[in-house]
Amino acid sequence: MRGISWERVLQLVDEDVRRVKDVAWVVITIAENNETFEVATNKDPRLGVLAIIGPSSGFGQSFPEVLLCEVGVGRSRPYNATGVNNGSPQIPKRRKWFRLSEEQYTLTAPFVFEYLQKRAQNVVRSWKSGSDFWLPSPRGYWSRNQNKLFCSTVWRLWPKGVKFSFPLDTPFIEDILWAERNLNLQVANAIGGLARFIDTRLSNYKRMEGWRGVKPFKNLKGVRDVEEAMDKIPPHLRGEVLKRLPSGPENRLYNELLEHFGLWDLLKEDGKENPLPNPEARLGNIQLRITSPPCDDRKYAVCEVFADSRQEEVPF
């Protein structure tokens, strides 16, 4: 690496491993054969991360033990420095020089997700205020008879959870995105319900196409109603809504909706599988919601893991 001697590289690699072993909340150590791992929990952690260390290669050399990945617990963020805690000195940033291999991730991910679920359960049970709270939530439906969109606000019960953060360049990201869409039944139902609403609201425009070439798609009253409904859900889930239209890509307004909401990247993803197959084998039945989705402005994504699978409707 430019500007750093080889001796210094070796020193820094060793420092990162030693540091997380000493102060990280949980440390997973993968054996050199990448077939087994051990878990250690610090009784007095000063760094709120779950760290994974193990063998890897880099700088033209193989290392028996390096820092492969960190998962932030609570307010902590992976690889970030920490401030002074009870008079102890600041813990500096760790270097992101190595990554989990597919084999290493497949080995450790089931334990990580199980740990996150148990951690959320233990924390929530300790809260005196309980595990649920009420949120004002939008509710809307389209009346064909009155040709009108009705909107209201209702109060729905929503569970509390614990937040965890994942570095972007890890397989964890694809798995938590998959978990939110497929394991969180309330999110899945909300997405499916919105997809059916879009199909119903725009059904007249599919049958009567006199507007084509006369009026811009974005100016149609039905499209404005769809816009209002789509604004209620996080941007990273909007593509999934269009994928779940009753007729999917065969919907006669599918391309117009893709263009209107700037989701053309969906077409590039069609036919692609999850980078690692069988995510359900790693995720179990974890219930989570992504609160800070992957984006170029940050180096991590944040999700909230719920204490159990008991949830009401999603308060988008």
Contacts of 236 (CB under 8 A, 6+ apart): 177, 290, 293, 294
Residue 226 pLDDT greater than 70, yes or no:
yes
Largest CA distance in the chain: 77
Asked if residue 157 has pLDDT above 80, the reply is no
% of the chain at pLDDT higher than 70: 81
Q: Looking at residues 206-234, what average pLDDT do you find?
A: 83
Q: Give the pLDDT confidence score for residue 229 in this predicted structure.
A: 86
* Average pLDDT of the chain to the nearest whole number: 85
Looking at per-residue confidence, does 266 or 230 come out higher?
230
The residue-averaged pLDDT of 288-314 equals 78
Better-scored residue on pLDDT, 294 or 280 = 280
4 or 104, greater pLDDT: 104
Residue 270 clears pLDDT 60, i.e. is over it: no
Whole-prediction pTM: 0.84
Kindly tell me if the per-residue pLDDT of 149 is higher than 80. no
Domain ranges within the chain, ordered by starting residue:
6-99, 132-306
**Where residue 297 falls among pLDDT bands split at 50, 70, 90?**
confident
Measure the CA–CA gap between 309 and 184, rounded to whole angstroms.
8
Cα torsion 70, 76, 81, 83: sign: negative
- Binning pLDDT at 50, 70 and 90, where does residue 85 land? low
Give residue 163's pLDDT band: very low, low, confident or very high (50, 70, 90): very high
Confidence of residue 316 (pLDDT cuts 50, 70, 90): very low
pLDDT digits (tens, 9 = 90+) for 26-78: 999 999 999 999 999 998 899 999 999 999 999 989 999 999 999 999 989 99
CA dist., res. 290 & res. 236, Å (int) = 9
Compute CA distances 176 → 52, 83, 290, whole Å: 18, 29, 8
Instruction: Scan for tokens 């909300």, then name that residue.
Output: 190
C-alpha closest to that of 138 among 157, 152, 159: 152
Phi, psi of 61, deg, nearest 5 = -145, 155
DSSP codes joined into one string, the chain = -TTS-HHHHHHHHHHHHHHHHHHEEEEEEE-TTSS-EEEEE-SS-SEEEEEEEEEEEETTEEEEEEEEEEEEETT--TT--B--BTTBPPBPPPP------HHHHHHHHHHHHHHHHHHHHHHHHT-TT-SEEEEEEEEEEEETTTTEEEEEEEEEEEE-EEEEEEETTSTHHHHHHHHHHHT-HHHHHHHHHHHHHHHHHTHHHHH--TTTTTS-GGGSHHHHHHHHHHTTS-GGGHHHHHHTSTTGGGSTTHHHHHHHTT-THHHHHTTPPPSSS-HHHHHTT--EEEEE---TT-SEEEEEEESSS-------
Q: For residues 1 and 4, give the distance between their C-alpha atoms in angstroms, rounded to a whole number.
A: 6
